[in-house]
Amino acid sequence: MEKIFHFFFVAFYFGMKRDKTFPKVGRVKHLIAFELYQVIASVFIILWGFIGIKRLGMLYGWSIIAISIVLIIYLGDLICKHYVRKNESKFLRTINEYTIKQRKIYAIAGYFSCLVIFLFMMYCYILGVGLENYLYPD
């Protein structure tokens, strides 16, 4: 698991542009946390499809969604703290070992992984809605 987060850290680090307002490492950590939020939200969207939020009513449906959002943020932040912020100095030490060609490849892989995770989230949304419509027809 640590190697996966090392890959994401390096890929997003090489893909980021320098900015004077916010440190590059801080932006990378926030982007990794955002990608984790998307993956965890995808799982919750499929679970919402199994539960059938439409049939539960307004109060129960919105309370389940609110609790799920809190869990998504908590789990994403917990995983990010455990793997990324704990190993940040080790990840930064390895950055100077890459050549310019490797840095460009990692940057492209980082952009591509953002796109793939976004498409995965959209697929899970379609799957969750389809499951809900199939399991609980009107």
Spatial CB neighbours of 12, under 8 Å, sequence gap ≥ 6: 28, 31, 32, 110
**How far from chain centre, in Å, is Cα 39?**
5
Mean pLDDT of 101-108: 92
Give the pLDDT of residue 38: 92
- Work out the pLDDT band at 55, boundaries 50, 70, 90: confident
Q: With a cut of 90, say whether residue 48 has pLDDT above it.
A: no
CB neighbour class for 27 (10 Å; exposed up to 12, middle 13-18, buried from 19): middle
Cβ count near 23 (within 10 Å): 12
Q: What percent of the chain has pLDDT over 90?
A: 35
Sign of the alpha-carbon torsion through 65, 124, 1, 116: negative
Rounded to two decimals, the pTM is: 0.83
Mean pLDDT of 3-17: 88
